[in-house]
Amino acid sequence: MDDIAKGIEQVANAITVYGTMWILIGTGLFLTWRTRAVQLRLFRHMVHVVLGSRAGSKDGISSFQAFTISLAARVGIGNVFGVAAALLMGGPGAIFWMWVVALVGMATAFFEAVLAQVFKVDAGDGTFRGGPAYYMRYGMNSKIMGAVFAIITVVTCGVVITSVQSNAIASTLSATAKTSAPVTAVILFVLGAPIIFGGIRSVARVTEIMAPVMALMYIVMAFAIVLINIKQFPHVIGSIINSAFAPEPLVGGLGGGILAAVINGTKRGLFSNEAGQGTAPNAAATATVAHPVSQGLIQSLGVFVDTILVCTATAFIILDAGPEVWMGEGVNPANLTTLAVAHELGNWSIIPMAIMIFVLAFSSIIGAYVYSEVNMFFVTSSKIGTWIVRVASVFSIVLGALVSLNIVWATVDIAMAVMTITNLIALVMLSKWGVAALRDYEKQRKAGISEPQFVASECDGLPQLPAESVWNRKDVLQA
pTM score of the predicted model: 0.85
Please say if the pLDDT value at position 253 is more than 50: no
Max Cα distance, the chain (Å): 64
200: in domain: yes
The pLDDT assigned to 251 comes to 47
Q: What percent of the chain has a predicted confidence (pLDDT) above 70?
A: 84
**Secondary structure of the chain: what % helix, strand, coil (to 5)?**
75, 0, 25
Q: Is residue 460 a part of any domain in this protein?
A: no
Q: Domain containing 305: what range?
A: 1-441
| Domain annotation covers residue 459 | no
**16 occurs within a structural domain:** yes
242 located within any domain: yes
What pLDDT does 448 receive?
85
Which of 98, 168, 139, 189 shows the shortest CA–CA distance to 464? 139
What pLDDT, in 10s, does the model give residues 327-338? 767 777 777 888
Alpha carbon 357 to chain centroid, angstroms: 16
Higher pLDDT, 113 or 249: 113
Mean pLDDT along residues 126-134 = 84
User: How far, in Å, CA of 302 to CA of 315, rounded?
Assistant: 19
> From CA 281, how far away is CA 176, in angstroms rounded?
35
Mean pLDDT over each residue of the chain, to the nearest integer: 80
Domains in the chain, number: 1
Residue 31: band (very low, low, confident or very high) from pLDDT cuts 50, 70, 90: very high
pLDDT, tens digit, 9 for 90 and up, residues 170-204: 877 877 777 788 888 899 999 889 999 888 778 87
Residue 479 lies in a domain: no
In a domain, 475, yes or no: no
The pLDDT tens digits for 330-364 are 777 777 888 888 888 888 888 888 888 888 888 88
Q: Angle at CA 172, nearest 5°, toward 179 and 161?
A: 115
Give me the pLDDT at residue 106, please. 92
| Residue 470 in domain | no
Cβ(279)–Cβ(157) below 8 Å: yes
